[in-house]
Structure 1
Amino acid sequence: MFAYVGCRTTKRRNARGTGIQVFKVSDDFKNWTKASAFEPLENPSYLLINKRQDRLYCIHGDRSEISAFSIDPFYGSLHFINQVSTGGANPVHLAFNADETHIVISNHISSSVAAVEIDTSTGGLLPRTDLFEILDKPGPHKTEQPFPKPHANPLHRNGWFYIPDKGTDKILGLQLKDGVFCRHSQHSTELREGSGPRHLAYHPHLSVIYCVNELDSTVTTLKVSENGTLSPVSTQSTVRDSFTEFNRAAGITINCTGSRLFVSNRGEDSVSVFNINAQGLLSFAYSIASGGQTPRFIDVDTFMGHLHIANEDSDNITTFKVSEDHAEPIHTLPTASPVCIVFKY
């Protein structure tokens, strides 16, 4: 198994990273050995691996590009294919469409969502096929919400891309057909004013979506209708009741059985664990100290179901074995300014 770690690299981000780091990982996740790296590479801040696990794509934070790489099947090393423009500033998330012919990208600072075509013969990137500009009214936060700021665009199994917009306090729904966004069917869902929607997690079999809201440190549960529209059900805090200091919620992920949801907190430097009942509703279970500072990214692997936390400002990744009432730390990996982890199994 190989782990690929994206990082921040620039002085603007007060970063210490140098590019995508590649680690050979044991089956129990207790041993991580540096295998290779692709350097230098500016702010490879979010990564995506295809279903065949022979191609990796990354966006470059604070820039306007997406890059494509082939993956060596034996050594896991990366080989550059090409790079194209995302059509906007500071891309922050990327996701395939269902048949992996296109990649959809959220341009955070230029208020747009791009579709980029993939050359299916080489895995390389072709020019953009569409660019959707978001024109909604921004929220009330004077510094954090000056304009629409899409922050993610994961594809739901119903064929919709749901896009939490930190700038407008809305979740936008878009469909992509033949590389073009269907503007006639778009819809949006309003969340709490000033909440700052950031990332989403999809329940694996219920028609339920969970949205982590950065600015007010909450998580919102939403029902998904048959026509793809969303309805908020409940919103609750991501930090302990006793925590009263500055916090910004960040990452969100769900285990493969749909029994637990995880949300990271930058400030409290924790991950909150929620139990999920048969209807998809959340109840707070316990809180995990993240093992470092600024846990920007979290994920649960599909191999062992362990929780992996990228602590950006303390230069480490911590791995936890999660049970019903506690989480046991099993490994800490030193690596500079980590902000994303993906695995090749």
Structure 2
Amino acid sequence: MGDADSGVGGTGGTDGTVHGGGLRAWIGSFTSGGGRGITTATVDPGTGALTALSATKAVADPSYLAHDRRTGVLYAVSETERGAVGAFRPTAEGLAALGAAVRVGGSGPTHLSVAGRRLLTANYTSGSVSSLPLAADGAIGADGPASVLAHHGSGPDAGRQEGPHAHQVLPDPGGRWVLSVDLGTDSVRVCVLDPATGALRVHAETVLRAGTGPRHLAFHPSGEVVYVLHELDPQLTVCRWNAESGELEPVAEVPVAPKGAPGAPEAYPSAIVASPDGRFVWAAVRGADTIATFSLAAGAEKPQLTGAVPCGGTWPRDLAADPSGRRLYAANERSGDVTWFDVDPRTGQPRRAGSLAVPAATCVVFG
């Protein structure tokens, strides 16, 4: 497929699905950095090309998004000191706010996910995880969080790990446990979520190598292996996951970027994705501005770095696979674009196919 660079403000693809319920992409961005908030885009079913449809600044700095397939509602963090979340109902034209934004009881939320009838946020600045109730229609409870679980601890990097910094929170595939990744404490906490009250309680904490700064994790489709990506040291930690006991056991570390020549840019990994078929893992690496590919041909616990390609821009803050796993989308924050790649089905290597201008892009989700 040829290169297909597109600008914001297009009216849709040529397949006629803009108003017909085809696959949509939502792109978060930093409004404080010149972004348009949440951009709604159509996805061409044949090429994967994105075409911007509309944008909303209903919440400030919506740096991370989550789509609930059960209700169809899209959620966004407001990564600000006052920390909030917003809910949106997708429409033919874009997004309609589902009530006012709700405070999360923490500052600087960077990630959120849906766990049953609860919305979970990882609050980076305050180092906590919040649980908010969701109504049957997906609206967020106006009274705020039912639970705010504070993390405790620090790490050896005085500039980045002076205290806890929760960076990601998500349920395990079985929905029994909640895992929170903390960059400041070099650990992953496994929590119990009370379905009746929404209260979070720490069940276990897995301590990883000091100073690595874990940022995000991804489950292998088998549900038995977890890949933890580190921001402060370009490594991923391979862990066994026991869904019965709620235990996460580190078994190996794998470099995310090969050692460069003197003067090469430092690498700050940001996002990790496992392919739906369980054959590959991809990681976005800022600084190096690459997408690393890992083969799982030797087994889910033995990822092998097989190559890296340019991310199509600079500072890839997020990386997402489309539902088919045939394409990858990198949200390149500093160059202000979302670049998409076709994935070689044999090798897993991404090949750049096009891009969409999105200032201060931070996140891509599909629905």
| TM bracket, shorter-chain basis | over 0.9
1:272 maps to a residue whose letter is A
Q: Summarize the Cα distance change of 1:152–1:287 in structure 2 as closer, same or farther, 3 Å threshold.
A: same
Shift of the 206–57 alpha-carbon distance from structure 1 to 2, 3 Å rule, reads closer
Q: Does 1:58 align with 2:79?
A: no
Q: Deviations over 1:35-89 (max 9, x none)?
A: 11113541011111111353111001123101111112x4443334221111011
Q: Deviations over 1:294-340 (max 9, x none)?
A: 00100111135211101100011111111133322111111111001
Matched-pair identity in %: 26
Mapped to 1, the partners of 2:336 and 2:24 lie a distance apart of 19
Deviation at 1:253, TM superposition (A): 0.8
Asked if 2 retains the 8 angstrom alpha-carbon contact of 1:144 and 1:167, the reply is yes
| Distance of aligned partners of 1:233 and 1:257 in 2 relative to their CA distance in 1, 3 Å threshold | same
Moved more, 233-242 or 190-199: 233-242
Give, in whole Å, the separation in 2 of the partners of 1:122 and 1:111.
26
CA offset digits 1:66-121 (Å, max 9, x no partner): 1111112x444333422111101100111111x2x111111111111110001114
| Selected match of 1:245 from 265, 268, 288 | 265
Alignment-derived partner of residue 255 in structure 1 = 275
Say yes or no: does 1:49 pair with 2:70. no
TM-score by length of 1: 0.92
Paired letter, 1:221: V
Matched, 1:331 2:347: no
Tell me the residue number matched to 1:299: 320
Q: Verify the 8 A CA contact 2:48 2:327 in the aligned structure 1.
A: no
Aligned-partner Cα distance in 2 for 1:134–1:300: 30
Structure 2 unaligned blocks of 5 or more = 1-22
Structure with higher RCO (Cα < 8 A, 6+ apart):
2
- Aligned match of 2:3: none
Alignment map for 1:35-184 (pairs within 5 Å): 35-39=53-57, 41-52=59-70, 54-63=72-81, 64-72=83-91, 74-97=92-115, 99=116, 101-121=117-137, 123-126=139-142, 127-135=144-152, 137-158=153-174, 159-177=176-194, 178-183=196-201
Corresponding residue of 2:249: 231
Q: Which secondary structure does the structure 2 equivalent of 1:82 belong to?
A: coil
Per the TM alignment, residue 343 of structure 1 is displaced from its structure 2 partner at its CA by 1.2
The 1-side partners of 2:126 and 2:86 are apart by 19
Residue pair 2:276, 2:324 contacting (<8 A) in 1 also: no
Provide the C-alpha distance between the structure 2 equivalents of 1:296 and 1:59, rounded to a whole number of angstroms: 15
Deviation at 1:30, TM superposition (A): 4.3
Question: 1:182 Cα shift?
Answer: 4.9
Offset at 1:16? Answer: 1.6
Match of 2:342 among 321, 328, 333: 321
Does the Cα contact within 8 Å between 1:92 and 1:105 map onto a contact in 2?
yes
2:234 counterpart (217, 228, 233): 217
Deviation at 1:249, TM superposition (A): 1.0
- Counterpart secondary structure, 2:168: coil
- Equivalent position of 2:13 in the other structure: none
Structure-1 separation of matches of 2:167 and 2:241 = 20
The alignment of Structure 1 onto Structure 2 pairs a total of residues equal to 335
Cα distance between partner residues in 2 of 1:284 and 1:235: 12
Give CA deviations for 1:100-158 in whole Å, capped at 9, x if unaligned. x11111111111111000111463434211111112x2010010101011100111123
Please give the alpha-carbon distance, in whole angstroms, between the structure 1 residues aligned to 2:302 and 2:312.
28
Following superposition, the deviation at residue 20 of structure 1 comes to 0.8
Q: CA deviation at 1:289?
A: 0.7
Deviations 1:158-183 (A, max 9, x none): 32111111001111110101233353
- Whole-Å separation in 2 of the counterparts to 1:180 and 1:79: 24
Q: Is the 8 A contact 2:239 2:301 kept in 1?
A: no
1:256 Cα shift? 0.5
Distance 1:9 1:188 in 2: 35
- AA matched with 1:145: Q
Retained in 2: the 8 A contact 1:312–1:337? Answer: yes
